[in-house]
Amino acid sequence: MYSPPSILWLPGNTGYSFASYLLGTPSSGNLQSPAHVFQQKYYQGYYVTDAYRVTNKLTVNIGLRLDVDGSFSERYNRIVVWQPNASDPLSSQVGLNLKGQLAFVDTPAYPSRHMLGDAKVLPAPRIGIAWTPMNNTVVRLGYGLTWVSPEQINYSLPPFQSAVNLNTTTMVSTLNGGLTPFNTLSNPFPNGLLLPLNNNPPLLTKFEGQSFNAPIPGQPFTNVQQWNVQIQRQFGQDLSIDAGYVGSKATHLSFSVLPINELPDQYLSLGQALLTPVANPFYNVLPASAGTLAQPTVTAEQLLRPYPQYLNLGDSAPQRGDSTYHGLQLLVRKRLGAGGTIQGAYTWSKLLSDTDTLTSWLEAGHSVGGVQDANNLRLEKSLASFDAANRLVISYVVDMPFGKGQHFLGSLHGVADKALSGWGLAGITTFQSGLPLAFTTQSNLTNSLGGGSRPNVISPNVAISGSAQSRLNEWFNINAFAQPPAFTFGSEPRTDPVLRAAGIANYDLTIVKKTPITERFNLDFRTEFFNLFNRVQFADPGTIFGNPQFGIVTGTQNLPRLVQFGLRLNF
């Protein structure tokens, strides 16, 4: 059925878009004017390494690398940095002591051409020791330090993309709510196009009253220390065992974007008073484009922010994260008498961090919902979202002992030998613990102006026993969580120390048949089974408190059994 609109609603609900197009009167339009950015980075690396044989049983490898690592620059200095302690000229107009200001590189406000500081010389030592205390036994130790540049910056966000290197001109199509057209397709931008600001310091004032992300200069370089101890033992000709410990510590890891204009924690105790409208000192000072800060009143909490002349600010290159990893590893290899090998590798480990991968679309792990309280990053330390406490991988390649010259049916000839000989198996079996769950709340009542929200944990009994199938409708005890009161942060860690998603139990198998045709030609036929037993790995349960699907598993995250065949002629 179709109900024609009433003529009383003519401006908004009637009209024919194609007719408007033919008349040259579009409803809206814009044109982006980008600048071609020419980025460059200075880097040099020098290294020296030497191996010294102390005795017949002891060898030492020592190395030193010097990284001369600079920061990105741009040929025409079209880069903006955030100076948190600089005085804002707006202070004299509003009677407040305002801090924080954007600055172009290579200007009096920020003389360097490099957005994160000038080049640094970074020493990276490393050492390895191999000791043979007895026959068939080797002990290995190693340590190394690596540096990583702090260049994880989101260039798709202002002030990199907006205005500085990309500006947008918006068409004014009407001045009276669509009753009559104003600008038309024949001349949509009569006042010309807004070009990128490039390096024009006075124009940076247009960002006051806005939200944006920018890097803070002087960020430290990430360094990663790694060490290991390994004992290798050979038992006879067919069996070897490797046991070892591996550790690492990363310092000054990157966050994606870290809020820097969040309300200081001490003001949250003011409660509802934070939401009280008060006189806006920026009224009639900032342009109408400032939106919220161009109104006669603002909420009291806005004026308590570190930089009240702005809205949401983010450090786009924060190097304030840390991580530690400890793992015990065991590897057993066995050669089979009939031909083939089998090996098992087991890892028991723990990875703690207060930040996570910046390339989550490439890696395993769960979204942790961002930082809850940027004023207290110490509380972000928890299991990493991709921490796998236990992992066992068994792999094997087995030649079946049937047919001519083999242990069984070795006297076969002709067609029988062609049919029964040349068979082999290969496979990989993987078992792994599930990854930690990360919880958030559907409603953010913190009023922290930038912080996240996680639930409160009100009971230590968060886990529920039983098989995965029995817990699909309640993967964990949903009654162990509660919405935090307004103006407070939840007690749930960044990732839960107990609750995990479903683990991995996967079997892949390949059956191979090799058939010799002549001395020069042979034929390989393969049948490959992925997820041989068609086992299901359930997807994560709902982890947003307040959502109807909280605690419920609604899908799977692995593929069903896949069988593929292959035929290859070798010559």
State the pLDDT at residue 368. 74
Q: Of the given ranges (85-99, 240-254, 358-372, 394-408), which has the lowest mean pLDDT?
A: 358-372
State the pLDDT at residue 163. 54
Q: Of the given ranges (77-86, 147-156, 213-222), which has the lowest mean pLDDT?
A: 147-156
Q: In this structure, are residues 487 and 476 in contact, taking their beta carbons and an 8 Å threshold?
A: no
DSSP assignment of 35-51, as one string?
Answer: ----EE--EEEEEEEEE
List, for residues 372-411, the tens digit of each pLDDT value.
999 999 999 999 999 999 999 999 999 888 777 676 766 6
Q: In this structure, are residues 523 and 570 in contact, taking their beta carbons and an 8 Å threshold?
A: yes
List, for residues 315-326, the tens digit of each pLDDT value.
888 888 999 999
The larger pLDDT score, comparing residue 137 to residue 23, is at: 137
pTM of this prediction? Answer: 0.84
Mean pLDDT over each residue of the chain, to the nearest integer: 86
List, for residues 479-531, the tens digit of each pLDDT value.
999 999 999 999 999 999 999 999 999 999 999 988 888 878 888 899 999 99
The larger pLDDT score, comparing residue 521 to residue 357, is at: 521
How does residue 59 score in pLDDT terms, banded at 50, 70 and 90? very high
Length of the chain: 571
Task: Please give the structure tokens belonging to residue 427.
Answer: 């496979």
Task: Please give the structure tokens belonging to residue 523.
Answer: 């034929």
List the helix and strand counts (H, then E) for the chain.
Answer: 5, 29
pLDDT surpassing 70 at residue 56: yes
Task: Please give the structure tokens belonging to residue 175.
Answer: 């001045």
List, for residues 537-556, the tens digit of each pLDDT value.
999 999 999 999 999 999 99
pLDDT surpassing 50 at residue 2: no
Maximum Cα–Cα distance for the chain, whole Å? 102
Mean pLDDT value across residues 220-247: 95
Task: Please give the structure tokens belonging to residue 239.
Answer: 């069996």
pLDDT surpassing 90 at residue 561: yes
310: amino acid identity, one letter: Y
Inter-CA distances, 21 with 9, 180, 214, 265, Å: 21, 14, 40, 53
Of 352, 286, 299, 303, which Cα lies nearest the Cα of 323? 352
**Phi/psi of residue 306, each to 5°?**
-60, -35
Task: Please give the structure tokens belonging to residue 300.
Answer: 């009291």
State the pLDDT at residue 522. 86
State the pLDDT at residue 317. 80
Q: Is 117 exposed, middle or buried (0-12, 13-18, 19+ CB in 10 A)?
A: middle
Q: In this structure, are residues 438 and 246 in contact, taking their beta carbons and an 8 Å threshold?
A: no
How does residue 6 score in pLDDT terms, banded at 50, 70 and 90? very low
Task: Please give the structure tokens belonging to residue 473.
Answer: 């409708």
How does residue 154 score in pLDDT terms, banded at 50, 70 and 90? very low
List, for residues 94-144, the tens digit of each pLDDT value.
989 999 998 888 889 889 888 777 778 999 999 999 999 999 999 999 999
Percent of the chain with pLDDT strictly greater than 90:
55
Q: In this structure, are residues 394 and 417 in contact, taking their beta carbons and an 8 Å threshold?
A: no
Residues 6+ apart with CB under 8 A from 500: 433, 434, 435, 436, 437
Mean pLDDT value across residues 456-480: 95
Q: In this structure, are residues 280 and 94 in contact, taking their beta carbons and an 8 Å threshold?
A: no
pLDDT surpassing 80 at residue 534: yes
Inter-CA distances, 262 with 265, 293, 446, 449, Å: 9, 16, 11, 5
pLDDT surpassing 80 at residue 290: no
**What is the per-residue burial (b if ≥16 Cβ within 10 Å, else e) of 422-446?**
bbbebbebeebbbbbbbbbbeeeeb
Q: Of the given ranges (73-77, 170-174, 195-199, 470-474), which has the lowest mean pLDDT?
A: 195-199
For residue 74, list its beta bridge partners.
39
pLDDT surpassing 80 at residue 298: yes
Q: How far apart are CA 298 and CA 309, in angstroms?
A: 11
Percent of the chain with pLDDT strictly greater than 70:
89
DSSP assignment of 450-478, as one string?
Answer: S-----EE--S-----S-TGGGTT-SS-G
State the pLDDT at residue 417. 67
DSSP state of 338: T
